[in-house]
Amino acid sequence: MAAPLVRILSRSCSQRCPVRALQSGGWRLRSTSSAPDLYSDQSPVVSFPPLQTYSEEEAMMRDAVKKYAQERIAPFVSKMDEASHMDDEVIQSLFEQGLMGVEIDPDYGGTGSTFFSSILVIEELAKVDPSVAVLCDIQNTLINTLLSKLGTAHQKSTYLSRLSTDMVGSFCLSEAESGSNAFALKTRAEKHGDFYTINGSKMWISNAEHAGVFLVMANVDPSAGYRGITCFIVDRDTDGLEIGKKENKLGLRASSTCPLNFDNVKVPEKNILGQIGHGYKYAIGMLNEGRIGIAAQMLGLAQGCFDNTIPYTRQRVQFGKRIFDFQGMQHQIAHVATQIEAARLLTYNAARLKEAGRPFIKEACMAKYFTAEVATLTTSKCIEWMGGVGFTKDYPIEKYYRDCKIGTIYEGTTNIQLSTMAKFIDKEFDQ
């Protein structure tokens, strides 16, 4: 039986971003807020829609995921955080809802939607549990995208149908000696006839506990430096692949992060993804897109924390009035709300640029950097606004606070984002 979101979105003959749709006179767009009566005589179709304007399909996707997250994920969040384990029922429900194959072609069982829809999914999931958003983000923006773009017909038929229905994927790049300098990796792949033997190790591999397939970056020619890096598809049950003990982390505790060891792991030549020696290009491209996914995680996290805090400030009475009514509190709340809104616009802009085929790397870095900063600010302020109860596990605020810290670290630290932005700014002034 088709997943609910698959049925919803398959009614559309094509999945286009709002800008393209407007150019072709196709979709009507729905904003997050309805227009006042003063403007009711204006056409709902505009040439340059606001960034927070969704196509009908995007709006349905967003609303459906919001409802799903509240009903199917929220009841498990506290237990999963305490156990440092993603509940199998949650993972299964993600597949049932079509959320693990958002952009995969329906021919392979996917939802057949857009990159922007993936970003909306990640944002909505992160409002409830950022750990679940990480699982979904990696699956959609890294694993599925790489296989869809680079896979052979055989690779697509073998893996995409599983990735959209019952298999988790994992992306293996980082190593002990190659963090921010990812292309200094030491994992080696040596050719022997029609197969390669992989030896080495990986660290900080997300989704590893549940993954059925790994996309592994290994160097086939160390003398060529990063130009020898190649991407291999490695099945979980391959001899010699060992998944280590999960890291005991500060936040995102339900999201598994494990080391991997490769000891003479034999991989058939047909499992090379893309071209030999082009792995570094693929990794750069995916990490640039992935930064928008991280931004969506941090955006959703900040909004979820804010949404869980403001009702308390409106109910809590001190000195005879709601703490929300103190001017000092109002100014802080307004400031944080503005920062979240700015973070949303940066994230959506980067996603729309990517989807439209326009340059987006600088904007992706800006979105990733800024949303991580905003998530840090928001979660810290929310704990302060709630006082002592915000510091306890009786409320989800302290979890958001713990979960957000990784946003300044993974898929490029804050300083890496700033350095990349500066390079683009420098080039812009050369013109």
Residue type at 15 in one-letter notation: Q
Total Cβ atoms within 10 A of residue 341: 13
User: Is the Cβ–Cβ distance between 363 and 350 less than 8 Å?
Assistant: yes
What pLDDT, on the 0 to 100 scale, is given for residue 226?
94
Q: ∠ at Cα 221 (218, 222), nearest 5°? A: 85
What pLDDT, on the 0 to 100 scale, is given for residue 51?
87
Task: Label residue 305 exposed, middle or buried (CB < 10 Å: 0-12, 13-18, 19+).
Answer: buried
Contact residues for 138 (Cβ-Cβ < 8 A; gap 6+): 169, 170, 171, 206, 207, 290, 293
User: Is the Cβ–Cβ distance between 322 and 314 less than 8 Å?
Assistant: yes
Q: Which residues are catalytic?
A: 411
Spatial separation of the C-alpha atoms in residues 121 and 64, rounded to whole Å: 9
Instruction: Report DSSP state, residue 196.
Output: E
3-state class (DSSP) for residue 54: strand
What pLDDT, on the 0 to 100 scale, is given for residue 9?
57
* Range in 45-59, 101-115, 266-280 the model is least confident about: 45-59
- Listed in order, strand segments (DSSP E) in 10-123 are 29-31, 53-55
For 249, phi and psi rounded to 5 degrees? -100, 160
Instruction: Report DSSP state, residue 291.
Output: H
Residue 21 or residue 328, greater confidence: 328
Of all residues in the chain, what percent carry a pLDDT higher than 70?
A: 89
What pLDDT, on the 0 to 100 scale, is given for residue 46?
52
Of all residues in the chain, what percent carry a pLDDT higher than 90?
A: 86
Q: Which of 376, 349, 382 is nearest to 365 (CA)?
A: 349
Q: ∠ at Cα 21 (18, 24), nearest 5°? A: 155
pLDDT, mean of residues 180-209? 95
What pLDDT digit, counting tens, does each position of 333-369 carry? 999 999 999 999 999 999 999 999 999 999 999 999 9
Over 50: is that where the pLDDT of 143 sits? yes
Backbone Cα Rg of the chain: 22
Spatial separation of the C-alpha atoms in residues 295 and 122, rounded to whole Å: 9
Q: Which of 118, 103, 205, 212 is nearest to 158 (CA)?
A: 212
111, 354, 17, 71: CA torsion to nearest 10: 50
pLDDT band at 56 (very low <50, low <70, confident <90, very high): very high
Spatial separation of the C-alpha atoms in residues 30 and 49, rounded to whole Å: 10
Spatial separation of the C-alpha atoms in residues 281 and 269, rounded to whole Å: 20
> In this structure, what token pair is assigned to residue 330?
């109002």
Spatial separation of the C-alpha atoms in residues 41 and 406, rounded to whole Å: 47
What pLDDT digit, counting tens, does each position of 69-95 carry? 999 999 999 999 999 999 999 999 999
pLDDT, mean of residues 35-50? 55
Instruction: Report DSSP state, residue 159.
Output: I
pLDDT, mean of residues 107-128? 98
Q: What is the number of alpha carbons within 13 Å of residue 380 lying toward its C-beta?
A: 8
What pLDDT, on the 0 to 100 scale, is given for residue 415?
97
Over 60: is that where the pLDDT of 16 sits? no
Over 50: is that where the pLDDT of 13 sits? no
User: Is the Cβ–Cβ distance between 98 and 6 less than 8 Å?
Assistant: yes
What pLDDT, on the 0 to 100 scale, is given for residue 179?
76
What pLDDT, on the 0 to 100 scale, is given for residue 39?
41
What pLDDT digit, counting tens, does each position of 200-220 carry? 999 999 999 999 999 999 999
Over 70: is that where the pLDDT of 373 sits? yes
What pLDDT, on the 0 to 100 scale, is given for residue 223?
95
Tokens 């296989």 found at: 147
What pLDDT, on the 0 to 100 scale, is given for residue 27?
43
Over 80: is that where the pLDDT of 43 sits? no
What pLDDT, on the 0 to 100 scale, is given for residue 20?
39
Q: What are the helix (H) ranges across 160-274? A: 161-163
What pLDDT digit, counting tens, does each position of 18-33 carry? 433 433 333 444 444 4
Contact residues for 368 (Cβ-Cβ < 8 A; gap 6+): 291, 292, 294, 295, 298, 407, 411, 412, 417
pLDDT band at 50 (very low <50, low <70, confident <90, very high): confident
Element (H, E) at 216: strand 211-219
Over 80: is that where the pLDDT of 10 sits? no
> In this structure, what token pair is assigned to residue 420?
């990349």
pLDDT band at 125 (very low <50, low <70, confident <90, very high): very high
For 258, phi and psi rounded to 5 degrees? -135, 155
> In this structure, what token pair is assigned to residue 332?
């802080």
pLDDT band at 5 (very low <50, low <70, confident <90, very high): low
Task: Label residue 224 exposed, middle or buried (CB < 10 Å: 0-12, 13-18, 19+).
Answer: exposed
What pLDDT, on the 0 to 100 scale, is given for residue 44?
54
